[in-house]
Amino acid sequence: MINMKRILLSLALVLPFLVSAQVNPVRIALHNWATGLNKPLWMTNAGDGRLFVVQREGAIKIITDSMQVLPTPFLNITAQVNSTQSEQGLLGLVFDPDYADNGYFYVYYIHGSGTGTSRISRFQVSADPNVADPGSEVVLYSVSQPYWNHNGGCLQFGPDGYLYCGFGDGGSGNDPDGNGQDLGTALGSMIRIDVSQHDSTYAIPPDNPFVDAQDTLPEIWASGLRNPWRYSFDRLTGDMWIGDVGQNAWEEVSFWPAGDNSGPNFGWRCREGLVPTQGVSQVGCAASGPFVEPVAAFGHGTQGWCSVIGGYVYRGSSYPRLYGKYIFTDYCSGDFISFGENYALDTLLSSSVNGAAAISEDVAGELYVVDHEHGTVKKIVDACPMPPPVASFDGETLSATMASGWQWFLDGMAIAGATGQTYTPTANGIYQVRADLGGSCLLLSDTVHVTNTAVHEMGDFRPAIYPQPARSSVELRSDLTGKPDFTLELMDAVGHTVRTMFWPSHLSSVSIDVRDLAEGSYVVRGQAEGMHHWSRLIIVVH
């Protein structure tokens, strides 16, 4: 009888791979794209290769597809913009979905003196595609600001074609006017309006959640927001991601699925992050709920965050490993984060550089960081974009593709001294190689299952088996001098013999046809007269 205990042990060695195999972490780098900007806060595209940078004091500059900042502003409304305080200024820009045909775009800025008034205005490009007409302004929406801070200002067109604008709660601390839970004001809310008529008015989308409710603003689409400084729509799914700037303790990221216009309430001022807001009465909060919980919250004291900067889901084609990842950061911490499965956090870049005011998207879905403190734009790239190494096994030796250095692993553990381009395995299991590809890029190969090295009872005789797994045939090879004649039996997992053949001593190799065998595990056993048998595991796939 064959030794099934040994065979099962060999098969069991595959199972620990489910928990012990190593994977390549995804990390990003920031590459210089443009410099010399004056307090940039936001950047977007107009459906072509240009990037349009919003500068806080009231000018919009163009970065060409050759990474040059044009000296003449696309728009300069500095005289109309109140940028006296740090959270005031020209704060938002979005281009009409039909910009290529109508030349319309929309801006958000603080107008007037003191605490000022938030304005959403439409402008139009001139005959020169790189210069807008400053006299074409049409003010579409205005909100008086009680304080100078928490102005929001991000403008986005949703996948539904409507214009969204996130307003802060009006400012001060702890939302003293209770705007976050007041549906009678746009402050502390996100509005959704139809501007497709392109006149001096706007329309209310018929499926807005409060369109028929009393004592509410019908343009409100969501409430309970403190300062949704940066939010975005996933260009593939239409889902919304919101970075809502916190107060004294927590920064939060929220998610809302595409097509759901039920009027989400994100909890401010009753809640900051996942906890009740310090110093705010909770009277009436239970009745205002239920609240949408953030998918992540970051502490000020323990994690050093101060102002979350919502980002985008990467949908570009240049960096496949980033595809589908929502990337965001914080103004103070400088770390760049994404979500894994079940919103598990993954740090893509640890950085101590503060000042990121926005993450922006170009027409192709590539992402950039707008740095307000340093007047720069940087492109987000995969820090290790090269393909990982390839490991192969010829039945005797493991080999890796070219690199500057190697480290082999067995079942997730580094093998001492196994630092060459090749390695001869001495045990069954799951092998990987980590290759040094330069630039601090240490990448892992896919796994290689080695299952022909452990079971033998004939001294040093170890016939190699190639390939593993086998598809049409499998070859046994041996360079042993004085090898005897062997009778071979191929048996399935329950011990039935499915092949018998002879391996004469003068042949260094023999081939076994497995084309008509079902997929699964088999054992080949060799016996020589007057000698103990040896066994090898074969895996057949088609």
pLDDT at residue number 16: 32
CA distance 240 to 20: 35
| pLDDT tens sequence across 514-527 | 999 998 888 888 88
Residue of 6, 10, 25 lying closest to 411 (CA atoms)? 10
Nearest Cα to 251, choosing from 227, 269, 270?
227
Cα-based torsion angle of the residue sequence 58, 228, 130, 78 in order, rounded to the nearest 10 degrees: -10
Does residue 470 form part of some domain? yes
Rounded mean pLDDT of the chain? Answer: 91
Residue 450: its pLDDT value, please? 82
Band of residue 495 on the pLDDT scale cut at 50, 70, 90 = confident
Q: Which tokens go with 251?
A: 């920064």
Which residues span the domain enclosing 522? 456-540
Looking at 294, 326, 360, the residue that finishes a domain is 294
Strand order in the sheet with 59-63: 40-45, 51-55, 59-63, 75-76
Please, which residues have CB within 8 angstroms of residue 251's CB and are 6 or more apart in sequence? 243, 244, 245, 273, 297, 298, 300, 305, 306, 307, 308, 330
Please check whether residue 316 is in contact with residue 366, taking contact to mean a CB–CB distance below 8 angstroms. Answer: yes
CA distances (Å), 335 to each of 227, 294, 303, 338, 343, in order?
20, 19, 10, 10, 17
Tokens linked to 422: 């090749």
Give pLDDT tens digits for 49-72: 999 999 999 999 999 999 999 999
Q: Is the pLDDT of residue 323 over 70?
A: yes
Q: Which residues contact 21 (CB under 8 A, 6 or more apart)?
A: 411, 412, 430, 432, 447
**Domain contains 165:** yes
- Whether 460 contacts 481, CB under 8 Å: no
Cβ burial, residue 127 (10 Å; 0-12/13-18/19+): exposed
pLDDT digits (tens, 9 = 90+) for 65-97: 999 999 999 999 999 999 999 999 999 999 999
- Given a contact cutoff of 8 angstroms between Cβ atoms, the answer to whether 2 and 496 are in contact is no
User: Is the pLDDT at 4 greater than 50, yes or no?
Assistant: no
Residue 497 or residue 7, greater confidence: 497
Residue 424 lies in a domain: no
Higher pLDDT among residues 322 and 248, named by residue: 322
At residue 532, the pLDDT reads: 55
Q: Considering the domain boundaries, does residue 380 fall inside one?
A: no
pLDDT of 198 above 80: yes
CATH number for the domain spanning 109: value is: 2.120.10.30
Look at residue 35 and give its three-state secondary structure: coil
The CATH number that applies at residue 465 is: 2.60.40.10
Last residue of a domain, one of 248, 264, 294: 294
| Segment 410-414 mean pLDDT | 87
Give the lowest-confidence range in 247-261, 298-312, 313-327, 476-490. 476-490
Q: Identify which has the larger pLDDT, 521 or 138.
A: 138
Which of 294, 327, 344 is the C-terminal boundary of a domain? 294
| Number of independent structural domains in the chain | 2
Pull the structure tokens for residue 506: 């003068």
Q: CA-CA distances (angstroms) from residue 540 to 29, 376, 394, 462?
A: 43, 57, 16, 20
Average pLDDT, stretch 279-293?
92
CA distances to 44, 122, 449 from 368, in Å: 10, 25, 41
% pLDDT > 70, the chain: 93
Give the ranges where 279-428 is alpha helix by DSSP (H). Answer: 285-288, 300-303
Rounded CA separation 102/246 (Å)? 38
Query: Taking 70 as the threshold, does the pLDDT of residue 19 lie above it?
Result: no
- pLDDT band with cut points at 50, 70 and 90 for residue 389: very high
Query: What percent of the chain is predicted at pLDDT more than 90?
Result: 77
User: Nearest 5 degrees, angle CA 278-CA 284-CA 286?
Assistant: 85
At 248-270, the pLDDT tens digits run 899 999 999 999 999 999 999 99
**Residue 237 in domain:** yes
Residue 411, in any domain of the structure: no
* pLDDT(455) > 70: no
Question: For the chain, how far is it from start to end, CA to CA, in angstroms?
Answer: 28
Does some domain include residue 155? Answer: yes
d(CA 58, CA 542): 65
Length reported for the chain: 542
User: What pLDDT score does 5 carry?
Assistant: 30
Please, which pLDDT band fits residue 352 given cuts at 50, 70 and 90? confident
421 is a domain residue: no
